[in-house]
Structure 1
């Protein structure tokens, strides 16, 4: 992957502005990730990316449930088949949906439902510089751009997500000010203080030290910047937090699931102000499910078949909260 080509615009933007301090670390990180030590499947995924047909979109829609690229001209049968085949080779698709011409990528998650719950409660993203931590394939990044963000940077170390993102960007805006960097949160320079809004959605419970994660998020924000935090929670008071024994909903890497009251306290201790719980939502098997584009086990396999209010391990079923706070 020629990252000097795909990130050229970003490098220039960072060089000229408040993200300059990140650039010195970022280029060696990308060299190490994409050139020196790439994922074993990266070549196969890049081959699929190269198989995408050369189609120019006449229209792109970012404020619709599916991120959409369309053209007035009907695709040939051969182009349509080639498009779907190449995109299928990038499965599993977890966050979306996307619609590229006549191919609808029906992802595991209805990520549009989460966005619809979040966006009414956040500050306008117009002209803001935005960071999306753990962005997956970048669905929410496109929605952020659709809300008028000046620049959106998503970070996620997963190489498949990067390839999926580049497939979408090929048709939805190769020159758009939106980027996915295959780096981890802890590799972002401390005290960067460069972003107007930072999102962390579906990440906190994967962190061994959740308060350190909150402090890392705060350090990305300028003074007065806004954090949008979405995570698993449990019901209870400010003394309650679940630490699963080995697995939660069949996920190994779940460490701490606090009550909303405890999470409020964590945010206070991390130094945030104006902390608001803006949404509380139980995840359903309509929002997260297996599809043609994600054929592995999904939420219905992770819940107790006799009592869907519990996970297969007997813990409370997924309940998600969204908090908004300021630095």
Structure 2
């Protein structure tokens, strides 16, 4: 199966009418320009995954569950776990695939708990998830009743992990595509809800990002924006010199009042802050499925309220806004 056929299958007309024609050329261009030489190896791994139909799926639980331990024999289960571990590191989750629990670096279910009761109900809505990683939250959106979910993320390992999960989940109206927001069609104005979680601080121009997100929302649609913030008054912004918590590409970390003003300046209506929470070492940490350094290594060992660079430790906020 070619890459075009693979992603055309994800964008089935019954789920995403008309989108394959628009997005497939952009996906092919993104793959052609990628420098990640592991993609062919990951594609081969996906093609060799055992075929095991799940006896049940659960996208609404904290752990996205696909099948049960008894759905396959011991050898098949060992083959599945071996293949999934070759897609290390797993950043977003957790998942349970036929009894194999993928304990990911991020407890992404904790973020979902903080926002699920604040956002507009997703039942029947078309959703775009920008910077979606391996699609954990896309599955949770489907579990919350979304009609169809498109996730975009340029990291090919994340796309491969999503495809592995989908292999065991079956055919559902959810797709994760190897695109960044800059590759996505501007001014589509068709999505009922657009999520951007953990993306804004990586953008050189936050206002351009807010405009790109608004261009994807139908009039009256909802933006769900989650990002790093600092404590402070309106107008205060941290612009780290060098790294922030060992991340290289962090450009702007505003205070909540500053970001509220940015959203209003960008043309959004009914702008509001619904949650501010410190990121804890229970939410982000190294595991057997993500064995590299993680948050405990990025904090000052003598003062956990600061990063190793001396900046305020990570705090994340969730904002909601309506597109005009």
Q: TM-score, normalised by structure 2?
A: 0.95
Q: Distance in 2 between matches of 1:250 and 1:311?
A: 8
Q: What residue in structure 1 maps to residue 133 of structure 2?
A: 136
Q: What residue in structure 1 maps to residue 36 of structure 2?
A: 39
Cα deviation per residue 1:13-39 (whole Å; 9 max; x = unaligned)?
A: 5874xxx4x655422222223467562
Q: In the alignment, which of 154, 173, 177 is matched to residue 151 of structure 2? A: 154
Of residues 188-197 and 48-57 in structure 1, the stretch that sits farther from structure 2 once superposed is 48-57
Q: Distance in 1 between matches of 2:133 and 2:261?
A: 28
1:73 aligns with 2:70: yes
Gap runs ≥5 in structure 1: none
Report the 3-state secondary structure (helix = DSSP H, G, I; strand = E; otherwise coil) of the residue aligned with 1:141. helix
**Number of matched residues?**
322
Determine if contact 1:48/1:87 at 8 Å carries over to the other structure: no
Matches within 5 A, 1:70-219: 70-71=67-68, 73-173=70-170, 175-219=171-215
Q: What residue in structure 2 maps to residue 2 of structure 1?
A: 3
Q: Distance in 1 between matches of 2:88 and 2:49?
A: 14
Determine if contact 2:7/2:177 at 8 Å carries over to the other structure: no
Q: Distance in 2 between matches of 1:286 and 1:106?
A: 12
Cα deviation per residue 1:224-281 (whole Å; 9 max; x = unaligned)?
A: 0000000000000012000000100000000000000000000001101111100110
Q: Quickly say closer, same or farther: Cα 1:129–1:279, change in 2 above 3 A.
A: same
Q: Give the CA deviation at 1:11.
A: 5.1
Q: Give the CA deviation at 1:54.
A: 1.2
Q: Give the CA deviation at 1:222.
A: 0.3
Q: TM-score, normalised by structure 1?
A: 0.94
Q: In the alignment, which of 256, 264, 267 is matched to residue 268 of structure 1? A: 264
Report the 3-state secondary structure (helix = DSSP H, G, I; strand = E; otherwise coil) of the residue aligned with 1:313. coil
Q: Distance in 1 between matches of 2:72 and 2:5?
A: 32
Cα deviation per residue 1:137-189 (whole Å; 9 max; x = unaligned)?
A: 0000000000111100000011101110000001112x200001111101112
Report the 3-state secondary structure (helix = DSSP H, G, I; strand = E; otherwise coil) of the residue aligned with 1:122. coil
Q: What residue in structure 1 maps to residue 216 of structure 2?
A: 220
Determine if contact 1:243/1:256 at 8 Å carries over to the other structure: yes
Report the 3-state secondary structure (helix = DSSP H, G, I; strand = E; otherwise coil) of the residue aligned with 1:263. helix
Q: Quickly say closer, same or farther: Cα 1:9–1:283, change in 2 above 3 A.
A: closer
Determine if contact 1:48/1:90 at 8 Å carries over to the other structure: no
Q: Quickly say closer, same or farther: Cα 1:28–1:305, change in 2 above 3 A.
A: same
Q: Distance in 1 between matches of 2:218 and 2:49?
A: 39
Cα deviation per residue 1:182-218 (whole Å; 9 max; x = unaligned)?
A: 1110111221101000000000000000011011101
Q: Distance in 2 between matches of 1:132 and 1:117?
A: 17
RMSD over aligned CA atoms reads 1.6
Q: Distance in 2 between matches of 1:136 and 1:9?
A: 16
Q: What residue in structure 1 maps to residue 278 of structure 2?
A: 282
